[in-house]
């Protein structure tokens, strides 16, 4: 039996995670909401390469300091709403990993990376537009910290945390 694919996400500081997760819990359709708020770096890494992936992430995360992120605004997804992310360090890290894992990447993970946190998805365009307008009018930019990476097993809907990798804490935090 083939191991399930792996998903890689960024671990946020607790305060920011709680704020974004609260928004997701309030606005994501409950019947489809299996997951907490998250920032996906890769959607489907090969589960049969887990040992190699984990070893590589140990090395990369030990060399990576906590990173600053900003959530300046929200954007429409057509049938949902997401919090946009401004994070040059995250983009550089993701690019490095994409190069390292180039031969493993699915078509989805080869696309241009636009990090975000999905607050609402899979609703009617009208419902999405209403939430977008509401959030855009009241949104206050969020400053956050990326503290590490989370590796998940995809279980055909829900995810199971496989391992957490911490970044090296920087003196500037």
Domains and CATH numbers, the chain: 6-166 (3.90.1140.10)
For residues 53 and 121, what is the distance between their CA atoms, to the nearest angstrom? 30
Q: For 52-80, how does the pLDDT look when each residue is reduced to its tens digit (9 = 90+)?
A: 999 999 999 999 999 999 999 999 999 99
8-state DSSP, 32: G
86: helix, strand or coil: strand
DSSP string, 124-161: -HHHHHHHHHHHHHH---EEEEEEEEEEEEE-SSSEEE
Its pTM surpasses 0.85: yes
Comparing CA positions, the residue from 119, 113, 9, 124 lying closest to residue 74 is: 119
Q: For 98-156, how does the pLDDT look when each residue is reduced to its tens digit (9 = 90+)?
A: 999 999 999 999 999 999 999 999 999 999 999 999 999 999 999 999 999 999 999 99
């Amino acid at each position: 039996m083939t191991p399930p694919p792996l998903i890689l996400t960024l671990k946020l500081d607790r305060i920011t995670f709680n704020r974004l997760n609260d928004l997701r819990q309030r606005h994501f359709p409950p019947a489809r909401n299996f997951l907490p708020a998250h920032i996906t770096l890769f959607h489907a890494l090969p589960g049969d390469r887990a040992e190699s992936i984990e070893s590589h992430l140990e090395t990369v995360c030990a060399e990576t300091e906590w990173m600053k992120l900003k959530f300046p605004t929200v954007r429409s997804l057509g049938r949902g709403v997401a919090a946009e992310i401004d994070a040059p360090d995250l983009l550089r890290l993701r690019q490095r990993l994409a190069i390292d894992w180039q031969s493993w990447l699915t078509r989805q993970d080869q696309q241009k990376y636009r990090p975000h946190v999905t607050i609402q998805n899979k609703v009617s365009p009208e419902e999405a537009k209403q939430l977008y307008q509401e959030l855009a009018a009241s949104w206050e930019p969020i400053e956050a910290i990326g503290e590490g990476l989370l590796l998940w097993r995809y279980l055909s809907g829900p995810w199971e945390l496989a391992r957490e990798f911490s970044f090296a804490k920087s003196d500037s935090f």
